[in-house]
Amino acid sequence: MTTIFRVSIIFPMLDHFDLIASIYDRLIGPPDTGRLQQLLQLPTTGWLLDGGGGTGRVSYHLNALVDNVVISDLSEHMLKKALAKQVNPVRAHIECLPFSDACFSRILVVDALHHFCDQQKAIEDLLRVLKPGGRLVIEEPDLNHKSVKVLALVEKMLLMRSHFYAPQDIREMVESHGYSAAIENDGRYTAWIVVEK
């Protein structure tokens, strides 16, 4: 795969994910990847990008269902944990990915969109690196639920710089780039925004 190194951004020193990287997987627990597999239509050929994939907690379980997995994240310490999981960690801003156009068959973003610096730009660059016919699935806490509104407030008070968006707002961001998106939810507090390019 050809990569173009377009990243010329000064990384922040240590963020809160660096600080909790050593306990992150135990803190959050193992993922339930059943719904993701279904929405991503796995197994498939080609490469999967896990955007803001951190320690590889989620995509490690999808490794056998694609040709290869790349985890892109900003936190060096989270990526060090991913190294042990037979995935390919790449340190980069999601808003400016160091990959050529249309090189991933599948992209997932789990519980990370609200942590990105610029959600609109992140979605634009994720769509750029997605192959035509490929799928992008964004999993986010559903801001339409009261408990998620409380979580958003708590993260604000903890100065975590997160910006939660309701699923319909995320869909609008996708649509502003000329693609349509579907919203799925589990009837509780998780929503998935699914894009077929």
Ligand X SMILES: C[S@@+](CC[C@H](N)C(=O)[O-])C[C@H]1O[C@@H](n2cnc3c(N)ncnc32)[C@H](O)[C@@H]1O
Residues in touch with ligand X (CB under 6 A): 17, 28, 52-54, 57-58, 73-75, 78, 93-95, 110-112, 115-117
Question: Minimum Å distance from CB 63 to ligand X?
Answer: 14
Nearer to ligand X, 38 or 45 (CB): 38
Nearer to ligand X, 111 or 196 (CB): 111
CA–CA separation, 98 vs 92, rounded Å?
7
* DSSP per-residue letters across 131-177: EEEEEEEEEEE-TTSHHHHHHHHHHHHTT-------HHHHHHHHHTT
Nearer to ligand X, 87 or 174 (CB): 87
CA–CA separation, 129 vs 26, rounded Å?
31
Nearer to ligand X, 155 or 184 (CB): 155
Question: Minimum Å distance from CB 57 to ligand X?
Answer: 4
Contacts of 171 (CB under 8 A, 6+ apart): 181, 182, 183, 193
Question: Minimum Å distance from CB 59 to ligand X?
Answer: 8
